[in-house]
């Protein structure tokens, strides 16, 4: 099953667009799927895991930042990771992207179609090269994958996607914060990643630009069908974008819920507010 590198016409075939059947399947526990057959064989067929954490711990000296985390994320899922600052959510991303190694446990990151095992990370800061023009910055995302005119072609295509095709020849310093973050998104997406890790990428943007970026992110995720892991401290952002939200508290997964709402979701709808309340209760205790 091809998970990446799908062209934009074949949208309906994407696992990201979860069908009712697939959701029902995901919401029942694996043992109940096919009691008469080997459960994982069919399960993998529908939705293989993009990555799984098995008993992952990460300690810095005496301090345990992640404590025995078990987490399976199916390919194409949009998962949001919420937690107070210092709860270990960024460490989780750094482990996933290979920037850091777990102290114990096993981390499996599956390959995408045609062995394109690409995990990309988008940071809180754009981290653009100030000395490279916008198109060249996007081409950084194709390091070791494509070169020259082909890379340029691809970078222009993805810039068109994020609405910045006309800025391709400019320096990053003349762009606004939101535009720079869009370039960073284009750079992360240009090689069609299998997993996109987002480390509070919208945290530094103003409220209106944030909403715009959320919509852009959702649209591109629906088109490209990558697995998205969004680390955020904004609960409303998490429920607006994600299929599933996990809350990390003191290095453990304190809550793991699905957000079974139709897209596009309306900001401020009662269902979102209810889920938001449930998550906040987990974070601060129901008394708060």
CA 181, 185, 187, 188 torsion-angle sign: positive
- Binding of other proteins by 121 (CB under 8 A): yes
Nearest alpha carbon to residue 135 among 118, 111, 151 = 151
Task: Please choose, out of 16-24, 27-35, 167-175, 244-252, the segment that lies near other proteins by the rule CB under 8 A.
Answer: 167-175
What track of x and - describes contact with other proteins for positions 85 through 104 (by CB under 8 A)?
------------x-x-----
Selected from 127, 152, 219, 263, the binder of other proteins by CB under 8 A is: 127
Selected from 171, 212, 236, 261, the binder of other proteins by CB under 8 A is: 171
DSSP 144: T
DSSP 265: P
CA 73, 285, 275, 220 torsion-angle sign: negative
Spatial distance between the Cα atoms of 91 and 226, rounded to a whole number of angstroms: 21
Site for other proteins in 206-265 (CB under 8 A): none
Nearer CB in complex with other proteins: 190/238: 190
What is the pairing mode between strands 252-258 and 244-249? antiparallel
- Binding of other proteins by 123 (CB under 8 A): yes
Cβ 117 to other proteins, closest distance in Å?
12
Spatial distance between the Cα atoms of 98 and 94, rounded to a whole number of angstroms: 6
Selected from 8, 173, 208, 270, the binder of other proteins by CB under 8 A is: 173
- Binding of other proteins by 146 (CB under 8 A): no
Site for other proteins in 40-69 (CB under 8 A): none
- Binding of other proteins by 10 (CB under 8 A): no
Q: Which residues contact 1 (CB under 8 A, 6 or more apart)?
A: 15, 45, 48, 113
Spatial distance between the Cα atoms of 244 and 248, rounded to a whole number of angstroms: 13
Selected from 1, 129, 157, 273, the binder of other proteins by CB under 8 A is: 129
Positions in the binding site for other proteins (CB under 8 A): 97, 99, 120-121, 123, 125, 127, 129-133, 140-141, 143-144, 171-174, 187
């Amino acid at each position: 099953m091809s998970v990446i590198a799908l062209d934009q016409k074949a949208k309906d075939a994407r696992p990201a667009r979860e069908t009712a059947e697939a959701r029902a399947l995901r919401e029942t526990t694996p043992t109940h799927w096919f009691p008469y057959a080997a459960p994982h064989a069919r399960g993998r067929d529908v939705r293989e895991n993009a990555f799984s954490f098995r008993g992952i711990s990460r300690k810095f000296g005496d301090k345990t930042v992640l404590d025995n985390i078990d987490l399976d994320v199916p390919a194409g899922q949009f998962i949001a990771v919420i937690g107070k600052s210092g709860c270990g959510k960024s460490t989780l991303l750094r482990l996933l992207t290979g920037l850091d190694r777990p102290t114990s446990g096993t981390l499996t990151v599956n390959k995408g179609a045609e062995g394109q095992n690409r995990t990309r990370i988008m940071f809180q800061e754009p981290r653009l090269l100030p000395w490279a023009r916008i198109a060249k910055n996007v081409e950084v995302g194709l390091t070791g994958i494509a070169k020259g005119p082909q890379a340029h072609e691809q970078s222009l295509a993805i810039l068109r996607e994020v609405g910045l095709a006309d800025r391709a020849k400019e320096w990053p310093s003349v762009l606004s914060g939101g535009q720079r973050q869009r370039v960073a998104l284009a750079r992360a997406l240009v090689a069609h990643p299998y997993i996109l890790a987002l480390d509070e990428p919208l945290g530094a943007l103003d409220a209106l630009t944030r909403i715009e970026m959320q919509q852009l992110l959702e649209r591109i995720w629906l088109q490209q069908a990558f697995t998205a892991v969004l680390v955020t401290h904004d609960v409303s952002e998490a429920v607006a974008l994600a299929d599933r939200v996990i809350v990390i508290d003191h290095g453990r997964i304190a809550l793991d819920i699905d957000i079974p709402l139709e897209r596009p979701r309306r900001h401020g709808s009662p269902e979102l507010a209810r889920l938001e309340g449930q998550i906040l209760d987990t974070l601060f205790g129901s008394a708060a």
